[in-house]
Amino acid sequence: MLSRTAENLYWLARYIERAETNARLMEVAARNALLPDTGGGMRNEWQSVLHASGTKQGFDEKYGDPVQRNVETHMFFDRDNPSSVASCIHQARENGRIVRTALTTQVWEALNSASAEMTELGRQERSRLSTSDMKDFALRHMAQVRGAILATQLRNDGYDFMNIGHYLERADSTARILDVKYYVLLPNVAMVGSGLDNYQWRTVLHAMNAQRAFAWVYGGEVTASKIVDFLVLNDQAPRSLISSAQGLLDHLERLARQYGRSSGATARGRQMVARLSQMTVADIFDEGLHDFLQSHLRDVLDLGSEISASYLSGEAR
């Protein structure tokens, strides 16, 4: 397969997942902002989302004041923000258009209608749109695209590159959503373990549509360590770091079999899975959740570069 085609498929999947993450992040912040403020940092929730999405600088330059409306515009509609939901959807479609023939009609139509309806949504009166409407919109469309990919794409190397993009972005995004917690709690460490803290943790589950799954797996009380276990180390949780890493590795290994050779990326993928599967929640809290997540994000970045070097540059290292 042409390296450029593989690259377009890979980015198409990354953008879809990124659109979804941003919608989810917005939801976390909106929910957290509904809480009675005890620490005097009512604005922190919105700031934290900007930190987590990695677009704080761009936001400050354009908007300044991190109030809900501004943050939502920035994260959802703003085409100047390359990771806004609108930007991601349009870029996913553009990547799809370039490799139109590598996609099934269903995938293309799902992408096309997401992009057309996104444009349509941008014309609507903003006061009539709630945060949940926006999140639902993004989730619905991205599920359609993802569903069409899973149901209809030929299981060839292109399919693997799409899934690699998908899982890599997910491995990144779950860590980012979790990291929001770090920023929320930063000014008020004494709150850890309090009722408020638990509520805020719940919003993380809520944003991932995972409250019920969590209840089935762990039952009873929601604690920080259970949630971290669920979202990092539990391979039953579809968005956990380990599930994402495992998914990534599965597709890297499929590629290795098809091409008859392993690459640097395959090796790194194996390392990531190995590291996560040997960890315990205690290890993570010892290291510090934030530091752990940051080092995980660096691993993801390195793996991304390795995938580019191994497959997308055309040099086949």
Partner 1 sequence: MPDTFNEMYQGGQVRAPYRGLERWADEMPDELRGLKQSEAEALFRRIGITFAVYGEGGSPDRLIPFDMFPRVFAAEEWAKLERGIKQRARALNAFLADVYDRGEIVRAGRIPAHLVYQNDAFEIAVTGFTPPHGVFSHVVGIDLVRVGPDEFYVLEDNCRTPSGVSYMLENREIMMRMFPALFQEKRIAPVETYPQQLKRTFDSVAPQKCEGPPCVVVLTPGHFNSAYYEHSFLADMMGVELVEGSDLFVEGDFCWMKTTEGPKKVDVIYRRIDDAFLDPLCFRPDSMLGVPGLMNVYRSGGVTICSAPGAGVADDKAIYTFVPEMVRFYLGEEPILKNVPTYQCAKDDERRYVLENLPELVVKEVHGSGGYGMLVGPKASRDDIELFRAKIEEEPHNYIAQPTLALSACPTFVAEGVAPRHVDLRPYCLVGQDVVLVPGGLTRVALKEGSLVVNSSQGGGVKDTWVLAGE
Please state whether 66 falls in left (phi above 0), alpha (psi between -120 and 50) or beta. Answer: beta
Q: Is 313 in the site for partner 1 (CB under 8 A)?
A: yes
Smallest separation (angstroms) from partner 1 to the CB of 1: 5
Which lies closer to partner 1 via its Cβ, residue 102 or residue 175? 102
Say which amino acid occupies 62: K
Q: Is 315 in the site for partner 1 (CB under 8 A)?
A: yes
Which lies closer to partner 1 via its Cβ, residue 3 or residue 68? 3
Q: What is Dmax (Cα atoms) for the chain?
A: 59
Which lies closer to partner 1 via its Cβ, residue 138 or residue 312? 312
191 Cβ partners below 8 Å, 6+ apart? 38, 39, 185, 197
Smallest separation (angstroms) from partner 1 to the CB of 110: 12
**Binder among 68, 73, 112, 198 for partner 1 (CB under 8 A):** 112
Rounded CA-CA distance 298/295 in Å is 5
Per the document, the length of the chain is 317
Which lies closer to partner 1 via its Cβ, residue 224 or residue 265? 265
Smallest separation (angstroms) from partner 1 to the CB of 125: 25
Which lies closer to partner 1 via its Cβ, residue 6 or residue 26? 6
Binding mask 251-290 for partner 1 (x = CB under 8 A): ----x---x-------------------------------
Q: Is 311 in the site for partner 1 (CB under 8 A)?
A: yes
Selected range binding partner 1 among 174-182, 204-212, 274-282, 306-314, rule: CB under 8 A: 306-314
Q: Which residue in 212, 308, 314, 218 sits closest to 268, CA to CA? A: 308
CA atoms 287, 291, 292, 298: torsion sign = negative
Q: Is 161 in the site for partner 1 (CB under 8 A)?
A: yes
Q: How many whole angstroms from its chain centre is CA 40?
A: 29
Smallest separation (angstroms) from partner 1 to the CB of 2: 5
Which lies closer to partner 1 via its Cβ, residue 85 or residue 111? 111
**Binder among 11, 108, 137, 201 for partner 1 (CB under 8 A):** 108
Q: How far, in Å, are 151, 164, 244, 256, 304 from residue 248 at the CA level?
A: 19, 5, 6, 12, 11
Which lies closer to partner 1 via its Cβ, residue 66 or residue 304? 304
Smallest separation (angstroms) from partner 1 to the CB of 3: 5
Number of residues that bind partner 1 (CB under 8 A): 25
Please state whether 104 falls in left (phi above 0), alpha (psi between -120 and 50) or beta. Answer: beta
The 8-class DSSP code of residue 316 comes to -
Rounded CA-CA distance 74/51 in Å is 13
**Binder among 34, 42, 143, 316 for partner 1 (CB under 8 A):** 316
User: Residues 232, 287: contact at Cβ < 8 Å?
Assistant: no
Q: Give long-range contacts, CB 8 A cutoff, 24+ apart: 276-279.
A: 276/232, 276/233, 276/241, 276/242, 276/245, 277/233, 277/242, 279/232, 279/233
Binding mask 129-158 for partner 1 (x = CB under 8 A): ----------------------------x-
Smallest separation (angstroms) from partner 1 to the CB of 42: 43
User: Residues 25, 49: contact at Cβ < 8 Å?
Assistant: yes
Binding mask 85-104 for partner 1 (x = CB under 8 A): ---------x--xx-xx---
Footprint of partner 1 (CB under 8 A): 1-6, 94, 97-98, 100-101, 105, 108-109, 112, 157, 161, 255, 259, 311-316
